[in-house]
Copies of this chain bind each other. A is one copy, B any other.
Amino acid sequence: MKKVFDEIHGYITLNDLETKIIDSPVFQRLRRIKQTSLAYLVYPGAMHTRFSHSLGTFYLSQKVGEKLQQSGIITSEELNLIRLSSLLHDIGQFPFSHAIEPLYLQLNLSNKILRDEIIRNDGELKEIFEEYSVDVGKILQIYNGDNSFSSIIDSDVDVDRMDYLIRDSRHTGVQLGNLDLERLIDTISYGEDGNIIVLEKGLYSLENFYISRLHMYQAVYYHKTILGYEIYLRHIFKQVVELCCPELFNTSYIKKSVNEGSLVYWDDEWVFSKLYEALSDYNTPDNLKLQIKNFLNRNGPKVVFEEVTFDKLTTPLEELVSKLERYGIPRDAIFPFEEKIKIIDKSKIKVLSKGKYKSLRDLSSTLLKSIPEYINIGRIYVDYKFVNRARDILS
């Protein structure tokens, strides 16, 4: 048994199995991956890591699971599985998380696929699972939605999101993500079909949750400046890796690294180390060196066009990109960004009112009905040297 002191939830108690897991190198690696990637460039306090977020998610899974266990919905064995799954849910995160992941999504490798790979093949984890007779298949089932309790770990309103909204709020200082956590946990449950069940009298806690999430997307996760740096780092990372170690863009190589244990030092620090190596290497192209310095000295790209809407985007970014190019801005100084962000799946929410289930459609006084299902963001960033010119061209 071990206790870790968490700055959000206080003491978090782990049993022997869980202690061995967090002490393993592949879990310690999460100490070196920041939770909010480059958000610290705007909110200097946001330096917290996937390590503490994983512990926090674990803690909340215990709180939520305990309640389900008391109601006879899950067994104590299932609770143990849920604990393990939440503890390990981020084990496959890439260095700088979503800043780098898109490069791998193109290769059909997501952090979830990498997670499953690690859970199946990391040497130390394997030994630990064997020692404690953990059925790895069941953990993977939970991740892959095949288990009735998958939605505790992965759904609109899961313990992962609960933890990160609060944690990111605290570390950024942005109050918007402050949840009414006690009430939320008290008020929601999970159905076997992946539904979120909420007591009618607790609807506002759930509204508060979704709106906090929406606001944190706007104020932090898709913040104009932060996102610009993430795109920039991605661009730099690609070039650097192609120079130093192109095998890292080979998914079989990555998977082999999992097996061989060398992946455990592939983290934010690794990225920085490659940037520093590139800076001091005579062979690095000057242009790349300049980009690295810009990144380190906080001279990132800037937005010259933006559209944020709950509807569809109306402006095709490619046209604007072409226009900028036509007027002389080099293509590799232009960074278009477009994403459709899912906010809420209303069909999955069931409201429990006096013993009966209602869907949102049947309710006449909830904000949940008017929360947008998606938010669409379209932006064009350009290298900071071309900002004024680009704004002129587009105005």
Nearest Cβ on chain B to A212's Cβ, whole angstroms:
9
Report B-chain residues with C-beta under 8 Å of the C-beta of A234. none
Given that A44-B51, A215-B208 are contacting pairs, would A171 and B277 also be in contact in the complex, using a CB cutoff of 8 Å? no
Tell me the dominant secondary structure on chain A's binding face.
helix
Does A121 reach chain B (CB closer than 8 Å)? no
Cα–Cα, bound, A31→B181 (Å): 27
Contact of A273 among B47, B172, B277, B310 (CB under 8 A): B277
Q: How large is the interface on A (under 10, 10 to 19, 20 to 34, 35 or more residues)?
A: 35 or more
**A39, chain B: closest CB distance, angstroms:** 11
If A45-B8, A204-B218 touch, does A176 touch B180 (CB 8 Å cutoff)? yes
Residue ID in chain B nearest A185 by CB atoms:
B11
Closest to A298 in B: B28
| Total copies of this chain within the assembly | 4
Asked if A276 is at the interface (CB within 8 A of a chain B CB), the reply is yes
Q: Are B173 and A7 in contact (CB under 8 A)?
A: yes
Structural contact, A47 and B44, CB atoms closer than 8 A? no
Minimum Cβ distance to chain B for residue A313 (Å): 10
Specify the chain B residue showing the minimal Cβ separation from A181: B175
Q: What are the residues of chain B within 8 A of A55 when measuring CB–CB?
A: 44
Tell me if A113 counts as interface (CB < 8 A to partner B): no
Check A367/B375 contact, CB under 8 A, given A11-B186, A174-B180, A276-B273: no
The stretch among A84-92, A147-155, A264-272 that forms the contact with chain B is A264-272
Tell me whether A364 is interfacial, beta carbon within 8 Å: yes
Chain A, 34-56, contact with B by CB distance < 8 Å: what is the 0/1 string? 10000011111111110110010
Contact (Cβ within 8 A) B11 A182: yes
A364 close to B311 (CB less than 8 A): yes
* CB–CB A277/B279 < 8 A: no
Q: How far is the CB of A51 from chain B (nearest CB, A)?
A: 5
**Contacts A6-B173, A7-B172, A11-B186 given; 11 further ones with Cβ under 8 A?**
A5-B42, A10-B173, A28-B298, A34-B47, A47-B47, A175-B179, A176-B204, A204-B215, A269-B272, A273-B277, A308-B364
